[in-house]
Amino acid sequence: MDTPTDTPPDALLETRRTLHAAWQACKPDLQQRRADLERLRDALRAGVPAMDAAIRADFGHRSEHENLVSEVMVTLAEIDHTLKHLRAWSKPRKAAVGWRFRPGRARVLPEPVGVVGILSPWNYPVNLALMPLVSAIAAGNHVYLKPSEHTPRTSAWMRDLLEGVFPADRVAVALGGAEVGAAFAALPFDHLLFTGSTAVGRKVMAAAAPNLTPVTLELGGKAPAIVCPDYPLEKAAARIATGKWFNAGQTCIGVDYVLVDAARRDAFVAAMVAELKARYGTFEAPRDYTRIINAGQYARLRGYVDDARQRGLAIVEPFGTRAGDADARVFPPTLVIEPGPEAEVMQHEIFGPILPVLSYDSLDEVIARINALDRPLALYPFSHEDASVDRIVGKVLAGGVTVNDTLVHFGAHGLPFGGIGPSGMGAIHGRFGFDTFSKLLPVFHQARFAGSDLLKPPYTGRIDRMIRWLAK
Protein backbone atom coordinates (compact mmCIF):
# COMPACT_ATOMS: atom_id res chain seq x y z
CA MET A 1 0.00 0.00 0.00
CA ASP A 2 1.33 3.42 -0.92
CA THR A 3 2.24 5.85 1.84
CA PRO A 4 -0.54 8.45 2.04
CA THR A 5 0.45 11.92 0.91
CA ASP A 6 -1.46 15.08 1.66
CA THR A 7 -3.72 16.51 -0.99
CA PRO A 8 -2.52 20.08 -1.68
CA PRO A 9 -5.19 22.51 -0.45
CA ASP A 10 -5.05 24.32 -3.80
CA ALA A 11 -6.03 21.10 -5.57
CA LEU A 12 -9.17 20.63 -3.48
CA LEU A 13 -11.25 23.25 -5.25
CA GLU A 14 -10.19 22.04 -8.68
CA THR A 15 -11.23 18.49 -7.82
CA ARG A 16 -14.57 19.70 -6.55
CA ARG A 17 -15.10 21.65 -9.80
CA THR A 18 -14.24 18.55 -11.83
CA LEU A 19 -16.76 16.48 -9.89
CA HIS A 20 -19.47 19.10 -10.34
CA ALA A 21 -18.83 19.49 -14.07
CA ALA A 22 -18.97 15.72 -14.55
CA TRP A 23 -22.21 15.50 -12.58
CA GLN A 24 -23.82 18.29 -14.62
CA ALA A 25 -22.75 16.66 -17.88
CA CYS A 26 -24.17 13.25 -17.00
CA LYS A 27 -26.18 12.78 -13.83
CA PRO A 28 -26.14 9.08 -12.83
CA ASP A 29 -29.44 7.38 -13.63
CA LEU A 30 -30.98 4.65 -11.52
CA GLN A 31 -29.23 1.87 -13.43
CA GLN A 32 -25.85 3.54 -12.95
CA ARG A 33 -26.43 4.05 -9.24
CA ARG A 34 -27.33 0.40 -8.76
CA ALA A 35 -24.28 -0.73 -10.69
CA ASP A 36 -22.04 1.56 -8.62
CA LEU A 37 -23.40 0.20 -5.34
CA GLU A 38 -23.10 -3.41 -6.47
CA ARG A 39 -19.45 -2.88 -7.43
CA LEU A 40 -18.79 -1.18 -4.09
CA ARG A 41 -20.36 -4.12 -2.24
CA ASP A 42 -18.24 -6.64 -4.15
CA ALA A 43 -15.05 -4.63 -3.68
CA LEU A 44 -15.63 -4.24 0.06
CA ARG A 45 -16.21 -7.96 0.47
CA ALA A 46 -13.02 -8.75 -1.41
CA GLY A 47 -11.05 -6.12 0.48
CA VAL A 48 -11.85 -7.25 4.04
CA PRO A 49 -8.44 -8.84 4.81
CA ALA A 50 -6.56 -5.72 3.69
CA MET A 51 -9.01 -3.48 5.52
CA ASP A 52 -8.62 -5.49 8.72
CA ALA A 53 -4.85 -5.26 8.53
CA ALA A 54 -4.94 -1.51 7.90
CA ILE A 55 -7.27 -0.80 10.83
CA ARG A 56 -5.29 -2.97 13.23
CA ALA A 57 -2.10 -1.22 12.17
CA ASP A 58 -3.63 2.21 12.69
CA PHE A 59 -4.98 1.38 16.16
CA GLY A 60 -2.02 -0.69 17.26
CA HIS A 61 -4.54 -3.49 17.63
CA ARG A 62 -8.26 -3.90 17.20
CA SER A 63 -10.24 -7.10 17.42
CA GLU A 64 -10.84 -8.68 14.03
CA HIS A 65 -14.37 -9.46 15.17
CA GLU A 66 -15.02 -5.83 16.09
CA ASN A 67 -13.82 -4.87 12.62
CA LEU A 68 -16.15 -7.41 11.01
CA VAL A 69 -19.17 -6.24 13.00
CA SER A 70 -18.64 -2.49 13.06
CA GLU A 71 -17.05 -1.89 9.67
CA VAL A 72 -18.12 -4.73 7.37
CA MET A 73 -21.46 -6.05 8.59
CA VAL A 74 -23.23 -2.71 9.03
CA THR A 75 -21.83 -1.26 5.80
CA LEU A 76 -22.80 -4.25 3.68
CA ALA A 77 -26.23 -4.26 5.30
CA GLU A 78 -26.63 -0.58 4.42
CA ILE A 79 -25.72 -1.29 0.78
CA ASP A 80 -28.12 -4.24 0.59
CA HIS A 81 -30.93 -2.26 2.21
CA THR A 82 -30.37 0.62 -0.21
CA LEU A 83 -30.31 -1.63 -3.27
CA LYS A 84 -33.55 -3.29 -2.15
CA HIS A 85 -35.42 0.01 -1.75
CA LEU A 86 -33.67 2.33 -4.20
CA ARG A 87 -36.28 2.14 -6.95
CA ALA A 88 -39.10 2.96 -4.52
CA TRP A 89 -37.18 5.82 -2.91
CA SER A 90 -36.42 7.33 -6.32
CA LYS A 91 -39.99 7.38 -7.57
CA PRO A 92 -42.01 10.63 -7.68
CA ARG A 93 -44.09 10.96 -4.52
CA LYS A 94 -47.68 12.09 -4.72
CA ALA A 95 -48.54 15.18 -2.71
CA ALA A 96 -51.91 16.59 -1.68
CA VAL A 97 -52.84 20.05 -2.99
CA GLY A 98 -55.96 20.77 -0.92
CA TRP A 99 -59.42 21.41 -2.30
CA ARG A 100 -58.73 25.11 -2.97
CA PHE A 101 -56.17 24.23 -5.65
CA ARG A 102 -58.03 21.40 -7.38
CA PRO A 103 -58.13 20.15 -10.07
CA GLY A 104 -54.39 20.81 -10.00
CA ARG A 105 -52.11 18.03 -8.81
CA ALA A 106 -48.70 17.88 -7.18
CA ARG A 107 -45.75 15.58 -6.74
CA VAL A 108 -42.36 15.58 -5.06
CA LEU A 109 -39.34 14.56 -7.13
CA PRO A 110 -36.21 13.32 -5.31
CA GLU A 111 -33.40 14.99 -7.27
CA PRO A 112 -29.65 14.72 -6.60
CA VAL A 113 -28.16 17.90 -5.17
CA GLY A 114 -24.78 17.67 -6.94
CA VAL A 115 -21.48 17.12 -5.14
CA VAL A 116 -21.58 15.86 -1.56
CA GLY A 117 -18.58 16.38 0.73
CA ILE A 118 -17.96 13.84 3.50
CA LEU A 119 -15.59 14.45 6.41
CA SER A 120 -15.28 11.11 8.22
CA PRO A 121 -13.66 10.30 11.59
CA TRP A 122 -11.08 7.82 12.85
CA ASN A 123 -13.02 5.73 15.37
CA TYR A 124 -14.94 3.70 12.75
CA PRO A 125 -12.96 4.76 9.72
CA VAL A 126 -14.73 2.57 7.15
CA ASN A 127 -18.40 2.50 8.04
CA LEU A 128 -18.61 6.20 8.95
CA ALA A 129 -17.13 7.04 5.55
CA LEU A 130 -18.86 4.49 3.34
CA MET A 131 -22.36 4.49 4.81
CA PRO A 132 -23.03 8.16 3.98
CA LEU A 133 -21.24 7.65 0.64
CA VAL A 134 -23.75 4.88 -0.13
CA SER A 135 -26.65 7.27 0.53
CA ALA A 136 -25.10 10.04 -1.55
CA ILE A 137 -24.41 7.73 -4.50
CA ALA A 138 -27.90 6.22 -4.24
CA ALA A 139 -29.40 9.70 -4.47
CA GLY A 140 -27.48 10.34 -7.71
CA ASN A 141 -24.69 12.58 -6.45
CA HIS A 142 -20.94 12.65 -6.88
CA VAL A 143 -18.85 12.44 -3.71
CA TYR A 144 -15.67 14.01 -2.40
CA LEU A 145 -14.43 12.20 0.71
CA LYS A 146 -11.90 13.39 3.28
CA PRO A 147 -11.16 10.55 5.76
CA SER A 148 -9.32 11.07 9.03
CA GLU A 149 -5.58 11.60 9.14
CA HIS A 150 -5.45 9.65 12.43
CA THR A 151 -6.01 6.38 10.55
CA PRO A 152 -3.66 6.93 7.58
CA ARG A 153 -3.34 3.30 6.50
CA THR A 154 -7.10 2.80 6.48
CA SER A 155 -7.58 6.08 4.63
CA ALA A 156 -5.08 4.96 1.97
CA TRP A 157 -6.81 1.58 1.71
CA MET A 158 -10.16 3.32 1.25
CA ARG A 159 -8.72 5.61 -1.43
CA ASP A 160 -7.50 2.56 -3.33
CA LEU A 161 -10.82 0.77 -2.84
CA LEU A 162 -12.87 3.67 -4.19
CA GLU A 163 -10.49 4.31 -7.09
CA GLY A 164 -11.11 0.73 -8.16
CA VAL A 165 -14.90 1.14 -8.02
CA PHE A 166 -15.64 4.65 -9.28
CA PRO A 167 -14.30 6.92 -12.01
CA ALA A 168 -12.22 9.76 -10.60
CA ASP A 169 -14.87 12.29 -11.63
CA ARG A 170 -17.61 10.48 -9.67
CA VAL A 171 -15.88 9.78 -6.35
CA ALA A 172 -12.64 11.40 -5.22
CA VAL A 173 -10.66 11.07 -1.97
CA ALA A 174 -8.59 13.80 -0.32
CA LEU A 175 -5.91 12.78 2.19
CA GLY A 176 -4.25 15.00 4.73
CA GLY A 177 -4.29 16.61 8.13
CA ALA A 178 -6.08 19.48 9.82
CA GLU A 179 -5.03 22.03 7.18
CA VAL A 180 -6.51 19.91 4.40
CA GLY A 181 -9.63 19.27 6.49
CA ALA A 182 -10.19 22.98 7.10
CA ALA A 183 -9.80 23.79 3.41
CA PHE A 184 -12.09 20.89 2.51
CA ALA A 185 -14.88 22.16 4.81
CA ALA A 186 -14.69 25.57 3.12
CA LEU A 187 -15.37 24.21 -0.39
CA PRO A 188 -18.69 25.16 -2.02
CA PHE A 189 -20.32 21.75 -1.71
CA ASP A 190 -23.97 21.13 -2.44
CA HIS A 191 -24.15 19.29 0.89
CA LEU A 192 -21.51 18.61 3.54
CA LEU A 193 -21.56 15.82 6.13
CA PHE A 194 -19.21 15.88 9.10
CA THR A 195 -18.85 13.17 11.74
CA GLY A 196 -16.71 14.00 14.75
CA SER A 197 -16.54 16.04 17.92
CA THR A 198 -18.85 18.90 18.80
CA ALA A 199 -15.93 21.33 19.01
CA VAL A 200 -14.74 20.54 15.48
CA GLY A 201 -18.34 20.44 14.27
CA ARG A 202 -18.72 24.10 15.19
CA LYS A 203 -15.64 24.93 13.10
CA VAL A 204 -16.95 22.92 10.14
CA MET A 205 -20.29 24.70 10.28
CA ALA A 206 -18.54 28.08 10.42
CA ALA A 207 -16.37 27.15 7.41
CA ALA A 208 -19.44 26.08 5.42
CA ALA A 209 -21.47 29.17 6.29
CA PRO A 210 -19.96 31.63 3.74
CA ASN A 211 -21.03 29.29 0.93
CA LEU A 212 -24.43 28.64 2.56
CA THR A 213 -23.57 24.96 2.24
CA PRO A 214 -26.21 22.75 3.88
CA VAL A 215 -24.57 20.67 6.61
CA THR A 216 -25.36 17.45 8.39
CA LEU A 217 -23.41 17.12 11.64
CA GLU A 218 -23.03 13.79 13.42
CA LEU A 219 -21.38 14.76 16.70
CA GLY A 220 -21.34 13.26 20.20
CA GLY A 221 -22.03 13.97 23.85
CA LYS A 222 -22.52 12.18 27.13
CA ALA A 223 -24.85 9.26 26.41
CA PRO A 224 -26.39 7.93 29.63
CA ALA A 225 -27.63 4.46 30.53
CA ILE A 226 -30.37 4.34 33.17
CA VAL A 227 -30.92 1.08 35.04
CA CYS A 228 -34.40 1.12 36.58
CA PRO A 229 -35.07 -0.79 39.83
CA ASP A 230 -36.98 -3.58 38.09
CA TYR A 231 -34.26 -4.50 35.58
CA PRO A 232 -31.92 -7.49 36.28
CA LEU A 233 -28.45 -6.23 37.16
CA GLU A 234 -26.45 -8.99 35.47
CA LYS A 235 -28.19 -8.47 32.14
CA ALA A 236 -27.85 -4.69 32.44
CA ALA A 237 -24.14 -5.02 33.21
CA ALA A 238 -23.58 -7.30 30.20
CA ARG A 239 -25.36 -5.05 27.72
CA ILE A 240 -23.88 -1.85 29.11
CA ALA A 241 -20.41 -3.42 28.98
CA THR A 242 -20.86 -3.94 25.25
CA GLY A 243 -22.01 -0.35 24.80
CA LYS A 244 -19.05 0.91 26.81
CA TRP A 245 -16.05 -1.28 25.91
CA PHE A 246 -16.73 -2.10 22.26
CA ASN A 247 -13.84 -0.40 20.45
CA ALA A 248 -12.47 0.46 23.92
CA GLY A 249 -15.21 3.05 24.34
CA GLN A 250 -14.18 5.03 21.26
CA THR A 251 -17.76 5.22 20.02
CA CYS A 252 -19.86 8.36 19.60
CA ILE A 253 -23.01 6.56 20.81
CA GLY A 254 -21.16 4.52 23.45
CA VAL A 255 -22.38 4.60 27.04
CA ASP A 256 -20.71 7.58 28.69
CA TYR A 257 -22.05 7.07 32.23
CA VAL A 258 -24.58 4.88 34.00
CA LEU A 259 -27.23 5.75 36.58
CA VAL A 260 -28.34 2.94 38.92
CA ASP A 261 -30.92 2.99 41.72
CA ALA A 262 -29.06 3.69 44.96
CA ALA A 263 -29.96 0.43 46.73
CA ARG A 264 -28.29 -1.62 43.97
CA ARG A 265 -25.31 0.54 43.00
CA ASP A 266 -22.67 -1.60 44.68
CA ALA A 267 -24.28 -4.78 43.35
CA PHE A 268 -24.18 -3.28 39.85
CA VAL A 269 -20.48 -2.49 40.22
CA ALA A 270 -19.82 -6.07 41.34
CA ALA A 271 -21.83 -7.42 38.40
CA MET A 272 -19.89 -5.21 36.00
CA VAL A 273 -16.52 -6.35 37.40
CA ALA A 274 -17.60 -9.97 37.01
CA GLU A 275 -18.74 -9.31 33.44
CA LEU A 276 -15.44 -7.68 32.49
CA LYS A 277 -13.41 -10.56 33.92
CA ALA A 278 -15.57 -13.02 32.01
CA ARG A 279 -14.85 -11.12 28.80
CA TYR A 280 -11.16 -10.32 29.13
CA GLY A 281 -9.78 -12.92 31.55
CA THR A 282 -6.63 -11.71 33.28
CA PHE A 283 -6.23 -8.85 30.80
CA GLU A 284 -2.73 -9.91 29.84
CA ALA A 285 -2.24 -8.89 26.18
CA PRO A 286 -6.00 -9.04 25.54
CA ARG A 287 -6.69 -10.09 21.94
CA ASP A 288 -10.30 -8.90 21.92
CA TYR A 289 -9.66 -5.44 23.37
CA THR A 290 -9.01 -2.44 21.15
CA ARG A 291 -6.12 -0.03 21.77
CA ILE A 292 -6.48 3.73 22.12
CA ILE A 293 -5.92 5.40 18.76
CA ASN A 294 -2.89 7.56 19.70
CA ALA A 295 -0.77 8.83 22.55
CA GLY A 296 -2.65 12.12 22.82
CA GLN A 297 -5.97 10.37 23.37
CA TYR A 298 -4.36 8.00 25.86
CA ALA A 299 -2.93 10.91 27.87
CA ARG A 300 -6.33 12.66 27.86
CA LEU A 301 -8.02 9.57 29.33
CA ARG A 302 -5.27 9.06 31.88
CA GLY A 303 -5.81 12.66 32.94
CA TYR A 304 -9.47 11.97 33.67
CA VAL A 305 -8.56 9.11 36.01
CA ASP A 306 -5.80 11.13 37.67
CA ASP A 307 -8.27 13.96 38.26
CA ALA A 308 -10.76 11.53 39.84
CA ARG A 309 -8.03 10.13 42.07
CA GLN A 310 -6.98 13.60 43.19
CA ARG A 311 -10.58 14.34 44.11
CA GLY A 312 -10.63 11.29 46.35
CA LEU A 313 -13.22 9.44 44.28
CA ALA A 314 -13.52 5.68 44.51
CA ILE A 315 -11.93 4.08 41.42
CA VAL A 316 -12.56 0.44 40.59
CA GLU A 317 -9.91 -1.21 38.42
CA PRO A 318 -11.07 -4.79 37.78
CA PHE A 319 -7.67 -5.95 36.53
CA GLY A 320 -5.57 -4.17 39.12
CA THR A 321 -3.74 -0.87 39.26
CA ARG A 322 -0.87 -2.15 37.10
CA ALA A 323 -3.04 -3.39 34.22
CA GLY A 324 -2.58 -1.74 30.87
CA ASP A 325 0.36 -0.55 28.86
CA ALA A 326 0.94 3.11 28.03
CA ASP A 327 3.47 2.33 25.31
CA ALA A 328 1.03 -0.02 23.54
CA ARG A 329 -1.88 2.29 24.40
CA VAL A 330 -3.76 -0.46 26.25
CA PHE A 331 -6.10 1.41 28.61
CA PRO A 332 -7.89 -1.04 30.93
CA PRO A 333 -11.59 -0.82 31.81
CA THR A 334 -11.96 1.57 34.72
CA LEU A 335 -14.99 2.53 36.83
CA VAL A 336 -15.28 5.86 38.66
CA ILE A 337 -17.87 5.84 41.42
CA GLU A 338 -20.11 8.83 42.12
CA PRO A 339 -18.15 11.60 40.38
CA GLY A 340 -19.64 15.05 40.89
CA PRO A 341 -20.41 17.39 38.00
CA GLU A 342 -17.08 19.16 38.50
CA ALA A 343 -15.02 16.00 37.82
CA GLU A 344 -13.31 15.83 34.45
CA VAL A 345 -15.10 12.59 33.57
CA MET A 346 -18.41 14.44 33.85
CA GLN A 347 -17.24 17.63 32.16
CA HIS A 348 -16.38 16.02 28.82
CA GLU A 349 -17.45 13.22 26.52
CA ILE A 350 -15.15 10.42 27.68
CA PHE A 351 -14.71 8.56 24.38
CA GLY A 352 -12.73 5.83 26.06
CA PRO A 353 -12.93 2.88 28.47
CA ILE A 354 -13.77 4.82 31.66
CA LEU A 355 -17.28 4.36 33.08
CA PRO A 356 -18.69 6.70 35.75
CA VAL A 357 -21.30 4.96 37.92
CA LEU A 358 -23.79 7.20 39.71
CA SER A 359 -26.71 6.35 42.00
CA TYR A 360 -30.15 7.92 42.11
CA ASP A 361 -33.21 7.91 44.36
CA SER A 362 -35.96 8.64 41.84
CA LEU A 363 -36.57 8.86 38.09
CA ASP A 364 -37.34 12.54 38.52
CA GLU A 365 -33.78 12.99 39.79
CA VAL A 366 -32.40 11.00 36.84
CA ILE A 367 -34.29 13.08 34.31
CA ALA A 368 -33.22 16.35 35.92
CA ARG A 369 -29.54 15.32 35.98
CA ILE A 370 -29.51 14.30 32.34
CA ASN A 371 -31.40 17.40 31.22
CA ALA A 372 -28.91 19.62 33.05
CA LEU A 373 -26.34 18.55 30.42
CA ASP A 374 -26.38 19.00 26.66
CA ARG A 375 -28.82 16.78 24.79
CA PRO A 376 -27.07 13.44 24.21
CA LEU A 377 -26.60 11.64 20.92
CA ALA A 378 -27.93 8.43 22.48
CA LEU A 379 -30.05 7.37 25.45
CA TYR A 380 -30.26 3.89 26.99
CA PRO A 381 -33.13 3.19 29.42
CA PHE A 382 -33.25 -0.28 30.98
CA SER A 383 -36.67 -1.33 32.30
CA HIS A 384 -39.36 -3.90 31.62
CA GLU A 385 -41.99 -1.42 32.78
CA ASP A 386 -43.39 0.52 29.83
CA ALA A 387 -44.41 3.40 32.09
CA SER A 388 -40.82 3.95 33.23
CA VAL A 389 -39.43 3.76 29.69
CA ASP A 390 -42.11 6.10 28.33
CA ARG A 391 -41.46 8.54 31.15
CA ILE A 392 -37.73 8.69 30.44
CA VAL A 393 -38.09 8.85 26.65
CA GLY A 394 -40.83 11.46 26.96
CA LYS A 395 -38.80 13.72 29.26
CA VAL A 396 -35.27 13.38 27.81
CA LEU A 397 -34.76 14.38 24.19
CA ALA A 398 -31.82 12.56 22.62
CA GLY A 399 -30.53 11.85 19.14
CA GLY A 400 -31.63 8.20 19.32
CA VAL A 401 -32.75 5.61 21.83
CA THR A 402 -32.18 1.90 22.36
CA VAL A 403 -34.31 0.41 25.14
CA ASN A 404 -32.86 -2.48 27.18
CA ASP A 405 -29.69 -2.60 25.10
CA THR A 406 -27.02 -0.30 23.68
CA LEU A 407 -25.78 0.79 20.23
CA VAL A 408 -28.36 -1.28 18.32
CA HIS A 409 -30.42 1.59 16.92
CA PHE A 410 -27.41 2.62 14.83
CA GLY A 411 -27.72 -0.53 12.73
CA ALA A 412 -31.51 -0.44 12.26
CA HIS A 413 -31.71 0.87 8.70
CA GLY A 414 -35.36 1.90 8.99
CA LEU A 415 -34.45 4.42 11.72
CA PRO A 416 -32.91 7.85 11.16
CA PHE A 417 -29.52 8.32 12.79
CA GLY A 418 -28.61 11.80 13.96
CA GLY A 419 -28.22 14.11 16.90
CA ILE A 420 -29.91 17.19 18.26
CA GLY A 421 -28.36 20.45 19.40
CA PRO A 422 -24.70 19.98 20.41
CA SER A 423 -24.94 16.28 19.50
CA GLY A 424 -25.65 17.11 15.86
CA MET A 425 -28.21 18.04 13.24
CA GLY A 426 -29.81 16.21 10.36
CA ALA A 427 -30.12 12.45 9.85
CA ILE A 428 -28.63 9.69 7.73
CA HIS A 429 -29.08 5.93 7.12
CA GLY A 430 -31.52 4.22 4.80
CA ARG A 431 -34.20 6.39 3.24
CA PHE A 432 -33.31 9.21 5.63
CA GLY A 433 -29.80 9.37 4.19
CA PHE A 434 -31.19 9.20 0.65
CA ASP A 435 -33.49 12.14 1.41
CA THR A 436 -30.71 14.09 3.15
CA PHE A 437 -28.62 14.06 -0.02
CA SER A 438 -31.61 14.76 -2.30
CA LYS A 439 -33.47 17.91 -3.17
CA LEU A 440 -37.09 16.95 -2.60
CA LEU A 441 -38.33 19.07 -5.46
CA PRO A 442 -41.98 20.17 -5.19
CA VAL A 443 -43.78 20.28 -8.54
CA PHE A 444 -47.33 21.60 -8.99
CA HIS A 445 -49.20 20.77 -12.21
CA GLN A 446 -51.99 23.24 -13.02
CA ALA A 447 -55.12 22.00 -14.77
CA ARG A 448 -56.26 23.26 -18.15
CA PHE A 449 -59.07 25.20 -16.49
CA ALA A 450 -58.24 26.63 -13.07
CA GLY A 451 -59.71 29.04 -10.58
CA SER A 452 -56.46 30.96 -10.49
CA ASP A 453 -57.36 32.36 -13.93
CA LEU A 454 -60.00 34.48 -12.14
CA LEU A 455 -57.65 35.83 -9.45
CA LYS A 456 -56.75 39.17 -11.03
CA PRO A 457 -57.76 42.80 -10.61
CA PRO A 458 -60.14 44.41 -10.49
CA TYR A 459 -61.13 42.60 -7.28
CA THR A 460 -64.80 43.47 -7.43
CA GLY A 461 -68.11 41.70 -7.60
CA ARG A 462 -67.84 37.95 -8.05
CA ILE A 463 -64.04 37.94 -7.63
CA ASP A 464 -64.31 39.85 -4.36
CA ARG A 465 -66.89 37.39 -3.03
CA MET A 466 -64.89 34.35 -4.13
CA ILE A 467 -61.66 35.54 -2.45
CA ARG A 468 -63.48 36.32 0.78
CA TRP A 469 -65.09 32.86 0.73
CA LEU A 470 -61.75 31.12 0.06
CA ALA A 471 -60.12 33.06 2.90
CA LYS A 472 -62.63 31.93 5.52
Kindly state whether residues 165 and 289 are assigned to the same domain: no
β-sheet bridge partners, residue 118: 145, 193
My answer on whether 51 and 161 are in the same domain is yes
Question: Is 285 contained in some domain?
Answer: yes
Answer for the pair 287, 63: CB distance below 8 angstroms, yes or no: yes
Write down the pLDDT at residue 6. 85
Cβ atoms of residues 27 and 140 within 8 Å: yes
Domain termination residue (choose one: 415, 431, 463): 415
Q: How far apart are CA 383 and CA 403, in angstroms?
A: 8
Identify how many contiguous H helices and E strands the chain contains and give both numbers.
17, 16
Where in the sequence numbering do the catalytic residues fall? Answer: 218, 252
Please state, in angstroms and rounded to a whole number, the distance separating the CA atoms of residues 141 and 112.
5
User: Is 411 buried (19+), middle (13-18) or exposed (0-12) by CB count in 10 A?
Assistant: middle
Say what the pLDDT of residue 380 is: 98
Residues 152-175 as b or e (16 or more Cβ within 10 Å = b)? bbbbbbbbbbbeebbeebbbbbbb
Domain membership flag for residue 353? yes
Q: Are residues 234 and 203 in the same domain?
A: no
Please check whether residue 433 is in contact with residue 218, taking contact to mean a CB–CB distance below 8 angstroms: no
- The tally of domains found in the chain comes to 2
The C-alpha atoms of residue 423 and residue 397 are separated, in whole angstroms, by 11
Q: In whole angstroms, what is the distance from residue 334 CA to residue 317 CA?
A: 5
Same domain membership, residue 436 and residue 384: no
* Burial state string for 430-448 with b = 16 or more CB within 10 A and e = fewer than 16: bbbbbbbbbbeeeeeeeee
Segment (H or E) for 303: helix 295-310
Domain shared by 354 and 296, yes or no: yes
214 within a domain of the structure (yes/no): yes
Co-location of 388 and 315 in the same domain: yes
Domain shared by 192 and 138, yes or no: yes
Strand (E) or helix (H) holding 360: strand 354-360
CATH no. for residue 92?
A: 3.40.605.10
Contact between residue 157 and residue 51 where contact means Cβ atoms under 8 Å apart: yes
* Domain region containing 210: 9-219+423-442
Q: Count other C-beta atoms under 10 Å from residue 465's C-beta.
A: 11
Domain containing residue 344: CATH number: 3.40.309.10
Asked whether residue 467 is domain-assigned, the answer is no
pLDDT digits 0-9 by tens, 433-445:
999 999 999 999 9
Beta bridge partners of 316: 335
Residue ranges, the chain, pLDDT below 70: 1-4
Classify residue 315: in a domain, yes or no: yes
Residue 463 within a domain: no
Q: Is residue 456 part of a domain?
A: no
Please indicate, yes or no, whether the overall pTM of this predicted structure exceeds 0.85. yes
455 domain-assigned: no
